[in-house]
């Protein structure tokens, strides 16, 4: 029993990172209907910015987190303006292929700039002790991850539902042309979406570095794909869905490992994707909308 709860704790920590990345995926998809494959690499860039601001600039956890989020937000907007905006009216496959290209460009650009060797996050950035509850070991860092994720998620909900830009986002997501006719600046709204999504990915990168220590230029690929699965699982385009999808995926993975099939873990994540696509294509939270052809 203790072991099971410990595995759930492990799963929730892993899942909150997936959730943070998945949020960005889902937001961008919700608005421009584009699977932004470069999102996992923005996450990687965030991890490196966090790393350098801790080691080189000697900043603490919170300033590093904010710096990484800001830089990633700008970076995300740049990606959108340079790579995606010219293709807004092109076919979806063209945009998708561009996204893959941007992803590879960021990965190997990073390798070109600093080499492929991994880097280790310093251990002493936040000193929260691990503690035990009924024989279950909960590390301070996993609580920190969960806390950061939940705070950012609440903030995101607030932005989307209570602010003007959030209203614009929802309008654009609903019907881009109609929104334009109503006088909403679609370009700025899309940029804001990319900025917020990328900032979340940057935050996830720093948190990942704190929790897992090792970062390298190709670290974004697998978490990026898993977050995509999480976004689809929750219903792509739906913000609470991404959160729940991430947590569910993290817990599923931990339970698969707990059952002794640790080598099947990644496989199971993608089996989940396939099953969702077959039986509930719109995801757990999705409404079944018939697409008009």
Partner 1 sequence: MSRKKKLASIFASFMMAAGVLAGCGGAAGTSGGGEKGETIKIGANLELSGGVASYGQSIKEGIDLALEEINKEGIDGKKLELVAVDNKSEAPEAISGATKLVSQDKVVAIIGAATSGNTKAQIEIAQSNNIPLLTPTGTAADITVKDGKLNDFIFRTCFIDPFQGTVAANFAINDLNVKTAAIFIDSSSDYSKGLAESFKELFTKEGGQIVSEEAYVAKDTDFRAQLTNIKAKNPEFIFIPGYYEEVGLIIKQARELGISVPMMGADGWDSPKLVELAGADALNNTFITNHYSSGDSDPKVQEFVKAFKEKYKDKSPDAFNALGYDSAYFLADAIKRAGSSDPKKIQKALAETDGLELVTGKMKLDKDHNPIKAAVILEYKNGEQTFKTKITP
Assigned token pair, 8: 């759930």
Rounded to the nearest whole angstrom, what is the least distance from the CB of residue 177 to partner 1 in the complex? Answer: 43
Among 45, 195, 196, 219, binds partner 1 (CB under 8 A): 219
Nearest to 142 by CA among 41, 68, 250: 250
Q: Which range in 7-15, 173-181, 193-201, 232-240 contacts partner 1 by CB under 8 A?
A: 7-15
Number of residues forming the site for partner 1 (CB under 8 A):
29
Question: Restricting to residues 265-284, which ones interact with partner 1 according to CB under 8 A?
Answer: 265
Nearer to partner 1, 132 or 177 (CB): 132
Site string for partner 1, 101-140 (x = CB under 8 A): -----------------x-x--x------x-x----x-x-
Nearest to 205 by CA among 57, 85, 116, 73: 73
Rounded to the nearest whole angstrom, what is the least distance from the CB of residue 140 to partner 1 in the complex? Answer: 9
254 scored as a contact of partner 1 (CB under 8 A): yes
Among 61, 87, 212, 225, binds partner 1 (CB under 8 A): 212
Site residues for partner 1 per CB under 8 A: 3, 6-7, 10-11, 13-14, 118, 120, 123, 130, 132, 137, 139, 141, 212-214, 219, 222, 253-254, 256-258, 260, 262-263, 265
């Amino acid at each position: 029993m203790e072991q099971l709860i410990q595995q759930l704790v492990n799963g929730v920590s892993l899942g909150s990172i997936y959730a943070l990345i998945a949020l960005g995926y889902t937001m961008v998809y919700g608005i421009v209907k584009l699977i932004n494959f470069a999102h996992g690499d923005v996450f990687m860039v965030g991890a490196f910015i966090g790393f350098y601001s801790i080691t080189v600039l000697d900043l603490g956890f919170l300033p590093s987190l904010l710096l990484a989020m800001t830089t990633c937000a700008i970076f995300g907007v740049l990606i959108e303006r340079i790579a995606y905006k010219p293709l807004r009216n092109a076919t979806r496959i063209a945009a998708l292929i561009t996204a893959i290209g941007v992803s590879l460009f960021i990965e190997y650009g990073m390798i070109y700039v600093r080499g492929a060797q991994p880097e280790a996050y310093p251990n002493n950035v936040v000193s929260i002790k691990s503690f035990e509850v009924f024989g279950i070991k909960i590390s301070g860092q996993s609580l920190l991850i969960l806390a950061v994720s939940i705070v950012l998620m609440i903030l995101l909900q607030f932005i989307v539902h209570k602010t003007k830009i959030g209203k614009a986002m929802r309008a654009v997501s609903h019907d881009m042309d109609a929104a334009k006719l109503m006088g909403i600046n679609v370009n700025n709204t899309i940029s804001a979406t990319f900025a917020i999504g990328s900032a979340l990915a940057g935050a996830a990168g720093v948190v990942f570095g704190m929790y897992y220590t090792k970062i390298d230029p190709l670290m974004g690929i697998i978490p990026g794909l898993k977050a995509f699965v999480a976004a689809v699982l929750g219903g792509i385009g739906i913000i609470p869905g991404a959160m729940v999808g991430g947590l569910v995926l993290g817990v599923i993975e931990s339970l698969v490992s707990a059952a002794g099939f640790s080598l099947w873990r990644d496989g199971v994540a993608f089996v989940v994707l396939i099953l969702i696509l077959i039986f509930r294509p719109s995801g757990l939270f999705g409404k079944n909308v018939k697409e008009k052809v």
